[in-house]
Amino acid sequence: MSTTPLEKSLLTYVQGRIVQFDNDAKGLPICVPEFRRSSGSYLKKRGLNVINWFIRKGILEVVGSPWLPGFWVQKPEVLQSLLDSRDFKRPTLLMGVSNAPLSHKNWTSFKAEPFMVIDNRWNSFQEYMDSMKTKYRSRLKKAIQFKEGYDVVELEQTEDNIALCAGMLERTLIDKIAVLPIDLNELIRRFRIWFKGDYKIFGIQNKGELKAFISVVEDGDCLRAMHYGTLKSNPDMIYSLAMFHVIDYGIEHGFKQINLGRTATEIKSTYGARAAENYFSFYTRNVLLKSVLYIAKRKYMPKGYKLRSPLK
């Protein structure tokens, strides 16, 4: 999976401290995450309050901004060399995302949901469609027929449009635990500041009314899908419509990779995406926290999924 270090000028907007090590001129951001409250059953409100208390006390820090998933997926040796740097003040608990589990002392790794990545080998969306097996090509045609009732347009990033998108994102995340700021308006504004013209928001409209949106970041040779929001009343097909638009945009603009992000693993594999494994890796020398991680490791069961093979 392609990962691109962010420019130093952009890092100044990321909340946290920047650590330079191993002759890396740009460095790595070390950030404090924030868990959003959830009305779902994934984690009790009291549990979230406890986690946020630990975060406020500075016990947990994260390598890379948690608001930018996929931008800092490190090799195990990079995370270890960060710890070995004399200029790095180790927190009580450090988390990094790695492309393989860490076996070094005091590290514990948990397999995360994979990033679903399409390796672009087409010159047009029609070529992409023609490369699919009959069963999956038929599904794609249904999505194209469904699209006839909608318009997909690039939205101007005005305050009104940002507020509409933030509201949809809020409803989409209502039953999920997400490492995101409380103010989703501010999140989208920050992406506009960070990435300028490389951050685009595509609105899915019906008769001029915004029904859903998908945002992307143009990251060198990689196009990254970032935020998706929808109205509760929308049909499920609108999600596929958003994903196919990202794929279409990525192909037409010549990106080598189209990263559709985590979640909906099996569905995204039907689009031709492969699974890029990654791990949440934790470092601590605290005996109590090591015991907690050991117990969690024994009880943890990665979410299962089945990958499809839609391409000829």
C-alpha distance across the termini of the chain, in Å: 22
> Is residue 169 domain-resident?
yes
Tell me which residue range forms the domain holding 132. 116-274
> Is residue 309 domain-resident?
no
Domain count, the chain: 2
Cα dihedral 217→140→236→164 (10° resolution): 30
Distance between CA atoms of 235 and 222, rounded to whole angstroms?
29
68-102 burial, b at 16+ Cβ within 10 Å, e below that, comes to bbbbbbbebebbbebeeeeebeebbbbbbbbbeeb
- Predicted pLDDT of residue 275: 96
Nearest in space to 210 (alpha carbons), one of 219, 218, 201: 201
Distance between CA atoms of 78 and 65, rounded to whole angstroms?
16
Mark whether 223 and 150 lie in a shared domain: yes
List the Cα angle 237/186/79 in 5-degree steps.
85
> Is residue 15 domain-resident?
yes
Nearest in space to 295 (alpha carbons), one of 27, 108, 49, 93: 108
pTM for the full model? 0.89
Mark whether 198 and 106 lie in a shared domain: no
Nearest in space to 129 (alpha carbons), one of 143, 117, 140: 140
- Predicted pLDDT of residue 41: 43
Distance between CA atoms of 245 and 241, rounded to whole angstroms?
6
pLDDT digits (tens, 9 = 90+) for 26-80: 678 888 877 665 544 444 455 555 556 666 677 888 998 888 888 889 999 989 9
Mark whether 144 and 162 lie in a shared domain: yes
pLDDT digits (tens, 9 = 90+) for 139-189: 899 888 888 889 999 999 999 999 999 999 988 887 665 667 778 998 899
Mark whether 232 and 124 lie in a shared domain: yes
> Is residue 46 domain-resident?
yes
CATH code at position 244: 3.40.630.30
> Is residue 97 domain-resident?
yes
Mark whether 81 and 141 lie in a shared domain: no
Mark whether 241 and 254 lie in a shared domain: yes
- Predicted pLDDT of residue 160: 95
Distance between CA atoms of 64 and 99, rounded to whole angstroms?
14
Mark whether 72 and 198 lie in a shared domain: no
Mark whether 252 and 143 lie in a shared domain: yes
Mark whether 270 and 281 lie in a shared domain: no
Mark whether 253 and 132 lie in a shared domain: yes
- Predicted pLDDT of residue 300: 80
Mark whether 57 and 195 lie in a shared domain: no
Mean pLDDT of the 88-106 span: 92
Q: Which amino acid is at 212?
A: A
Distance between CA atoms of 198 and 193, rounded to whole angstroms?
10
Mark whether 196 and 213 lie in a shared domain: yes
